[in-house]
Amino acid sequence: MTEAPTWRREPYRLFFPLGVLLAWAGLFHWVLFALGLSTEYRSIFHSIAQIQGFLMSFAVGFLFTAIPRRTGTAAPAAWEMVIGLAAPVLTTVAAWFGRFEWAQLPWLVLVVTLIAFVVRRFRSSAATRRPPSSFVWIPFGLLVGIGGVVSFTIYGIRGAQPEWLHDLGELMLLQGVFLSLVIGVGGMVIPLICHGESSTDGTKAGCVTHVVVAIALLGTFALEVFASARLGLAARGALVLGVLLVQSRIHRAPTRPGLQRGFVWISAWAVPLGYLVAALLYPNIQPGLHVTFVAGFALMALSVGLHVTFAHGGRQDLVLGRPWQVAVFGVLVLFATVLRTMVNLDPANRNLWIGVSAGVFLIGTVFWLWTVVATTVAPMTGTATEGAARANR
């Protein structure tokens, strides 16, 4: 790790800001649409840019940073970094031009690269520690994403038939990947950030248990597509809530100081609760799903990103403090979630709510970037390694 240059030792410094830029790409067009400056309703582009661009950049940045540190193995190679940085951008650009099938190619290359990166370090004889059992969700989730792309491909080849291939592929790609990452990474990260509790090395029995639960999660997609959408959503919410309560102990509020920890905790609750709200409001499921995606996935990615940046940057004042920029960022993202639910609850003013919710979220990311830049350029209170260690005690 120490022999690699900084950009490979600390990949989050590149991937997290890239993710925010891709979030802007995926949302700013909604502002233009609401203002009447654009007539194009780019819902598919929005989904791809946010999931396979914004969130994927944060996921790769975190995994490239955390896994080598956890296992004591090598930092990502230069070619892995290049693929990781280029693929989300290429996917987003292709989706902007309506080439949705081409958009999946760089994403697939990235996923295969990431699976190989993860598995090599998990199985390395040079590893000083093993990952927790929950980390089996990481390759599982990435494989689910590949399965989603395959489903879409077969659906297209067969002339947009049968419809269930499209629906199942959409669930696997847009929900399965990041639900798996939230559960897998959250098993280590949420207790560590919220309570300073380190996870133990994984066991075979623990890994088998997680694989069984992961298959059950996949079953909720089949339940939604082939039997009852409401029941599938409710089962998914209940399953994710149960896992997060048992392994991540989200029933306990954060016991460590630091404002970003509170937003991580809130986001962990939002992921399953969004599904339960969607089941309750069925067939009007979009308000609940956006609780999961915005207050859950997006807020978690950004809040964990802040904690990683503070800790590895040696900024104990920010790790343990309550910077007002962090408060504004978190409140704005949660407010944007509420505004986005109004798109479907008040359809008469759909365009207004779309534009305002997107604008509020983007303003929140400005305060996020402000804090990250300040962390990067301000004098550090210790080395990055020392800071990260103290932050997690």
Q: How many angstroms separate the CA atoms of 111 and 145, rounded?
A: 8
Would you state the pLDDT for residue 314? 87
Would you state the pLDDT for residue 158? 87
What are the domain boundaries of the chain? 255-393
Of the candidates 304, 312, 383, 372, the residue with the CA atom closest to the CA atom of residue 75: 312
Q: Which residue has the tokens 């927790």?
A: 132
How does pLDDT run along the chain (393 residues), one tens digit per residue? Answer: 457 898 999 999 999 999 999 999 999 999 999 999 998 889 999 999 999 999 999 999 999 999 999 888 999 999 999 999 999 999 999 999 999 989 999 999 999 999 999 999 888 877 788 889 999 999 999 999 999 999 988 988 888 889 999 999 999 999 999 999 999 999 999 999 999 998 888 888 999 999 999 999 999 999 999 999 999 999 999 999 999 999 999 999 999 999 999 999 999 999 999 999 999 999 999 999 999 999 999 999 999 999 999 998 888 989 999 999 999 999 999 999 999 999 999 999 999 999 999 999 999 999 999 999 887 665 434 444 444 444 444
CA 159 to the chain's CA centroid:
32
Question: Under a CB-based contact definition with an 8 Å cutoff, are residues 165 and 155 in contact?
Answer: yes
Q: Among positive and negative, which fits the CA dihedral 192, 249, 372, 173?
A: positive
> What pTM was computed for the model?
0.93
Would you state the pLDDT for residue 124? 80
The H-or-E segment that residue 297 falls in is: none
Would you state the pLDDT for residue 373? 86
Q: Which residue has the tokens 């997609």?
A: 221
Q: How many angstroms separate the CA atoms of 92 and 100, rounded?
A: 9
Would you state the pLDDT for residue 389? 47
Would you state the pLDDT for residue 15? 97
Phi, psi (degrees; rounded to nearest 5) at 332? -65, -40
Q: Among positive and negative, which fits the CA dihedral 29, 30, 36, 38?
A: positive
Would you state the pLDDT for residue 380? 39
Which phi-psi region, left, alpha or beta, contains residue 83 (left: φ > 0; alpha: ψ -120 to 50)? alpha
Would you state the pLDDT for residue 384? 43
Would you state the pLDDT for residue 127? 78
Q: How many angstroms separate the CA atoms of 339 and 352, rounded?
A: 10
